[in-house]
Every structure is written in C-alpha cells, then in structure tokens.
C-alpha cells in the first residue's frame, strides 16, 4: 500500500475512534446513538442554513450495529406535521456514491429542548467544497507586509477537476430526481469532499421536513436544484462564492480560463425554468466530457484494486500466523501423547523454528523478514519444494515439503476446531 493511501486511511480510522472531551454538556445517548462528538464549531452564521433554524452536527455511534453516523440537530424545532416524515422514507431508498445517505430522522428532548435530528452516513475527515476552495490563508502584502484576503487572486481550479465535480453532482442529482425528490440544499457548504476530487451531496432531506409545504411541487424544487447547480458552477469557476453577484464579470473569467462547453453548461443551468430543462440534458449535451471522468474513475478503481490485492496477501499470512499460535505448545495438552512433540505437531514446531528462530554461525538471531514472508507464502500455496527441518538439539532431521507442512497444520487446526465445539 502506498504511504499516502496508508496515511489517509489511518487518519480516517483515528477520526472514527475520536471521542469528545469531558465537560461539553452533551447527552450520553440520543435515540439509539451514543458517544457524541461535535464536528463543526458553533456560530451565528449557521442559524440561516436550514430555514433560519440553528443547527449543530455531531459524530455518534449506533448501538445497534456499532457503525459511526453523523447527527444533524435542528435546535428548538417543534414538528408540526407528522406527514413531513414521509419524505424521509423516500430518502432512505437512495443509495448512491455521490449522495450522503439519510438513515432516519427523529425528534428528541435529549438536549433539554425540542430538537429534530437527522442521521446521515458518516464520512471521516470530510471537508466541504467551500472549505477546500473558498477558505484560503491570507497572503502577505508586497508593500506593507500585512496580510490580505482576495478570493479572486487564488489559482483557478483545473477544468478537469471541475468536470469531475459536474459529473458527480449531476449523477447524484439524476438519482434524486428519479425518486421524485429534490436536493434543495445544493451549495458549496453542503457538498462534501470525501477523497481526492471525490464529492457527495450532503444534508439531503432536511428542508423537506423543516420547511414542509404540501402546496409546493417537487418539479419546482427540481428546477431550483438546477439553478443552484449553476450558481455553484459559477462559484467554482470564479473561485468566489459570490460570483453570481456580478454575472458579466464572472462570464468574462470563465471565458478566459475555461472551455466554451463549461461556460455553456453554466449558462444553461441558471437559465429560466422550462419543461425541457432537466438533469438529463447535461448528459445528452456534455456526455463526452463526462465519459472522460468515468474513465479516470475506473483507472483509480484499478489502482485501489491493486492496493487491495497487496492487503489480501497480508490477510492470508495473518491467518497462517494465527493457526501457528493456536497449535504450538498448548498448555492444556502437555500430558496427552498425541499433542506431545511427535508426529504432525513436531513437524509444525520444527517448521516454526525454521521460519522464525534461525541463527548464524555465532549463534546470534537472524531477523530476516524476507525469509519469513517467502516461507509463509510458499506454505500458504502448498508448493512441493522440500526443506530440511532440524531440531534444536540437532539430533533429529526431517526433509519435508511445504505441501506436507500445510497438511499437518490443517489437520492439527481441524482437530482443535472439533474439540472447541
């Protein structure tokens, strides 16, 4: 496994196991979830995210299956229409690689108020598109030495990366619209980056409950999704979340740095709603661009599969080592003749010494990891190659094949398994 991938996975594992320090005043349990850990700092700006309601988000652990989840809490919210929960059942059916899955929604008083909580899948160390592309470190001024912040001065996102984002958002949107639902929260602060150029639409289903209005049609919301998609595209191309405030300037920037296809797509998305405007049009008109992203995704999948094959080898060797540990020198069988240092168990014991306990001419231990891995791989494959096993007192010598040693291990482990039942 590459060092970069190993480090990334280790960081994700650490994020999953992180626990909150004492004194935060969080409840021990909320519904079927425990071990809450805050994922976002509080702030007044979050009070406008979901219909003006204050919200907070936590990592938690399900006591049903032990899996980590994200809990989005809408604070001080009283549910007025139970029928609003009906859309949650529809969202439960959506399992798409570019959509953060909604597991359930429920009301609770665990926070000493009336709260509405949405449980989504947890993606460790995820960032939002806004934090990745729109939050920059201040650069020092060349004249004064003081720092200044100018989003437009930052390097523009590569067009290939933007097309990757477009393909993923369009794919997730197509799945959502096909279920007669709408995103309604599509902006840079609610799209998660969960890996290199890997994004997922987040916070789905929240406004369907918080701002429930049976008079509004889903089709109207879907048209709003397309416009929001266009606004997000303008923001990414201009590297400025407020790009739509100056449309002529933004179009000039896009024309200068990107292809005409990307500009035409952005204009299509922000155009007025009409019956012919839908997400399928993106695939019909820009399919060639999106096909290139599919190829890149498959190349990356091949790379990960190669890494997985290497880890598969490690798993095989661990299973062999576990069998050695179960079989060798079991104290409860010290007085049983069939478990003494004779027969199959004796061969296994000598083979263990051959693999792990070799010494040089001066009697010093030899720590040769290559020798260990080579022997274990040959043992797992059961090759016919013969080796000489010598007892520690050098009085006994056996010539056996890896295949025969493997048969001895399988037989001894099988007998142990039968005794354990």
**Helix extents (H) in 81-199:** 86-92, 129-133, 159-178
Tokens of residue 318, six digits: 């661990």
**Domain map (residue ranges) of the chain:** 14-134+155-285, 308-420
pLDDT at residue 396 in the model: 82
> Does the annotation flag 121 for ligand binding?
yes
Give residue 46's pLDDT: 52
* Best CATH choice for the domain 308-420 from the list 3.40.50.10440, 1.10.287.3700, 3.90.1150.10, 3.40.50.450: 1.10.287.3700
Q: 14-134+155-285 falls under which CATH superfamily?
A: Transferase(Phosphotransferase) domain 1 (1.10.510.10)
- Choose among 52, 58, 44, 65: nearest CA to 108: 58
Alpha helical stretches, state H, 179-259: 206-210, 218-238, 247-257
Is 72 annotated among the ligand-binding residues?
Answer: yes
Reported as a single tens digit per residue, the pLDDT across 297-348 is 888 888 888 877 777 767 788 888 888 888 877 766 665 655 556 677 888 8
Q: Is 33 annotated as a binding residue?
A: no
* Spatial separation of the C-alpha atoms in residues 49 and 189, rounded to whole Å: 9
Residue 90's pLDDT is: 93
Cα separation, 200 vs 47, in Å, equals 23
How far apart CA 406 and CA 404 sit, in angstroms, is 5
The answer to whether 73 is a known ligand-binding residue is: no
Within 8 A by CB and 6+ apart from 40, the residues are 46, 56, 57
Dist. CA 175–CA 93, nearest whole Å: 10
125 in a labelled binding site = yes
Which residues does 416 contact at the CB level (< 8 Å), separation at least 6?
326, 327, 330
- Residue 123 marked ligand-binding: yes
**CA pair distance 77, 51, nearest whole angstrom:** 11
Contacts of 324 (CB under 8 A, 6+ apart): 348, 352, 409
Provide the edge-to-edge strand list for the sheet that holds 33-38: 29-30, 33-38, 55-62, 68-74, 115-121, 102-108
Q: Helix and strand tally (H, E) in the chain?
A: 13, 13
Q: What is the pLDDT of residue 278?
A: 92
Q: State yes or no: 370 annotated in a binding site.
A: no
pLDDT the model gives residue 98: 95
- Intra-chain end-to-end CA distance of the chain, in Å: 38
* pLDDT-flagged residues of the chain (< 70): 42-49, 136-153, 313, 331-342
Q: Tell whether 108 is in a known binding site.
A: no
Residue 54: its pLDDT value, please?
85
143 is in an annotated binding site: no
Look-up of token digits 């987040």: 202
Cβ contact 349:328 at 8 Å: yes
Model pLDDT, residue 284 = 85
């Amino acid at each position: 496994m590459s060092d970069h991938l190993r480090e990334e996975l280790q960081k994700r594992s650490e994020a999953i196991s992180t626990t909150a320090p004492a004194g935060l005043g969080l409840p021990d349990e909320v519904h079927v979830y425990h071990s809450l850990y805050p994922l976002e700092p509080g702030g007044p700006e979050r009070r406008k995210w979901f219909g003006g309601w204050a919200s907070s988000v936590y990592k938690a652990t399900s006591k049903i299956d032990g899996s980590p989840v994200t809990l989005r809490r809408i604070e001080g919210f009283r549910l007025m229409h139970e029928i609003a929960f009906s859309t949650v059942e529809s969202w439960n059916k959506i399992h798409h690689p570019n959509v953060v899955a909604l597991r359930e929604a429920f009301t609770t008083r665990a926070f000493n108020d009336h709260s509405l909580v949405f449980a989504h899948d947890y993606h460790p160390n995820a960032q939002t598109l806004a934090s990745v592309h729109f939050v920059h470190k201040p650069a020092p001024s060349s004249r004064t030495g003081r720092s200044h912040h100018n989003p437009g001065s930052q390097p523009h996102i590569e067009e290939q990366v933007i097309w990757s984002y477009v393909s993923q958002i369009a794919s997730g949107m197509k799945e959502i619209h096909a279920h007669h639902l709408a995103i309604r929260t599509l902006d840079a602060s609610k799209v998660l980056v969960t890996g290199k150029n890997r994004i997922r639409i987040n916070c789905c289903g929240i406004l369907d409950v918080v701002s429930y209005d049976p008079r509004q049609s889903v089709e109207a919301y879907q048209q709003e999704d397309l416009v929001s998609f266009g606004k997000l595209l303008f923001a990414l191309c201009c590297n400025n979340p407020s790009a739509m405030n100056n449309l002529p300037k933004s179009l000039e920037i896009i024309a200068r740095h990107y292809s005409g296809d990307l500009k035409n797509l952005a204009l299509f998305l922000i155009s007025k709603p009409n019956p012919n405007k839908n997400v399928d049009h993106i695939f019909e008109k820009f399919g060639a661009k999106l096909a290139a992203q599919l190829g890149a995704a498959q190349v990356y999948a091949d790379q990960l599969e190669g890494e997985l094959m290497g880890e598969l080898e490690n798993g095989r060797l661990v299973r062999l080592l576990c069998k050695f540990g179960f079989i060798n020198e079991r104290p409860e069988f010290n007085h049983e003749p069939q478990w003494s240092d004779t027969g199959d168990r004796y061969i296994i014991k000598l083979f263990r010494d051959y693999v792990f306990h070799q010494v040089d001419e001066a009697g010093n231990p030899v720590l040769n990891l290559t020798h260990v891995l080579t022997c274990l791989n040959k043992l797992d494959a059961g090759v016919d190659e013969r080796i000489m096993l010598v007892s520690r007192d050098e009085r006994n010598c056996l010539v056996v094949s890896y295949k025969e040693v493997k048969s001895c291990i399988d037989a001894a482990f099988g007998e142990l398994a039968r005794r354990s039942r």
